[in-house]
């Protein structure tokens, strides 16, 4: 999501200083968010562009090329993060507390590789349902 939002809002439209999305899983729920920093007069347009990107994900599955690229990026980020022992310990601890089990990087990698574009589109329709989204704007 960071790549999509950066390409659209920052690179293509030049409206933000920074844009990022975050996901924080919890044991009973989770929180997904988008943050962007922009001039006040661009805030509404930036929000529209974020919603447009979410709509695209709901309407059409990712291309095979895009899906492959995003999977490789995620797996690479996970591999780099696992090299830092503190991050690895925190990740393993969270996994054990949330799910009662530990999965090695290879197992997680196989699960990521098995995800299809249609499955992601189904998840996007659930998670990015406009009727379920909340907006908080700091001015």
Domains of the chain: 2-132 (3.30.830.10)
> If you write DSSP's letter for every residue of 52-89 in order, what string do you get?
HHHHHHHHSPPPHHHHHHHHHHHHHHHHHHHTSHHHHH
Name the β-bridge partners of 30.
25
Write out pLDDT tens, residues 34-91.
999 999 999 999 999 999 999 999 999 999 999 999 999 999 988 888 888 887 788 8
Query: At 123, is the secondary structure helix, strand, or coil?
Result: helix
pTM of the model: 0.81
The CA distance from 89 to 20, in Å, is: 25
Give Cα 97 distance to the centre of its chain: 22
The reported pLDDT for the residue numbered 28 is 76
């Amino acid at each position: 999501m960071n790549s999509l939002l950066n390409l659209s809002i920052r690179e293509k439209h030049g409206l933000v200083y920074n844009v990022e999305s975050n996901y924080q899983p919890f044991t009973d729920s989770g929180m997904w968010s988008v943050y962007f920093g922009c001039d006040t007069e661009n805030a509404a347009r930036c929000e529209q562009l974020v919603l447009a990107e979410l709509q695209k994900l709901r309407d059409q599955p990712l291309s095979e090329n895009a899906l492959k690229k995003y999977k490789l990026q995620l797996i690479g980020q996970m591999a780099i993060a696992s090299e830092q022992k503190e991050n690895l310990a925190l990740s393993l601890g969270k996994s054990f507390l949330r799910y009662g089990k530990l999965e090695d990087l290879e197992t997680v990698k196989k699960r990521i590789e098995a995800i299809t574009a249609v499955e992601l589109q189904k998840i996007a329709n659930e998670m990015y349902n406009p009727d379920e989204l909340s907006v908080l704007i700091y001015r």
